[in-house]
Amino acid sequence: MTEALIVIDVQNDFCPGGDLPVTGGDQVVAPINALMDRFDTVVLTQDWHPADHSSFAANHPGAQAFTEIAMPYGPQTLWPAHCVQGTKGAEFHAGLRTDPAQLILRKGFRAAVDSYSAFFENDKTTPTGLEFYLRGRGITRLTLVGLATDYCVAFSALDARALGFDVTVLPQACRAIDLAGSLARQMQAMADAGVVFG
């Protein structure tokens, strides 16, 4: 009763054919579905961006996707527009089980700041509310799966460890973007923070 499964951003735009596809992104659906019945608490997170989101390269004239700009809260990678509110791309993958989820947490809906982590916006101070939900249910241990390993999964895992949760990441139920070596860096960062890999 003290452990939760956190399923990160298994959405159409992060799967093949989407606007920001993660290689093999749809391959996480079956293993995640198989895991759900092992947990009393299941949370799904959902990227939910307005069309004018500041992380979209298209909203910075002349800027290219996958480059970096300075934002008030620090460096920000610019992405192709993705997971725009109300679009097909923002929907969960059709094969993903959603009925077992007690909570669907939308993030990234503030236009001025991106939100990789399920716990905080990228400014590292604005909470999503997930910590309070989990503590209210007596949850102390988290298992994280989903997309992408080196961004939203890793940022969520690192924040969860900083908040004092025990964290396991299951790499077989994740897939990575691996932008300029980001996967190796984030795997090391998670290991250094005490994240366990299952």
- The pLDDT assigned to 160 comes to 98
Is pTM beyond 0.85? Reply is: yes
Task: Please name the helix (run of DSSP H) or strand (run of DSSP E) that holds residue 168, with its range, or none.
Answer: strand 166-175
Question: What is the mean pLDDT of the segment spanning 27-41?
Answer: 97
106: confidence class by pLDDT, cuts 50, 70, 90: very high
CA 50 to chain centroid, in Å, comes to: 17
Instruction: Show the tokens assigned to 3.
Output: 């452990």
- The pLDDT assigned to 1 comes to 78
Q: Whole-number mean pLDDT of the chain?
A: 97
Positions marked catalytic? 9, 107, 152
Question: What is the mean pLDDT of the segment spanning 162-182?
Answer: 96
| Helices vs strands, H then E, count in the chain | 4, 8
pLDDT of 193 > 90? The answer is: yes
Cα separation, 3 vs 18, whole angstroms: 32
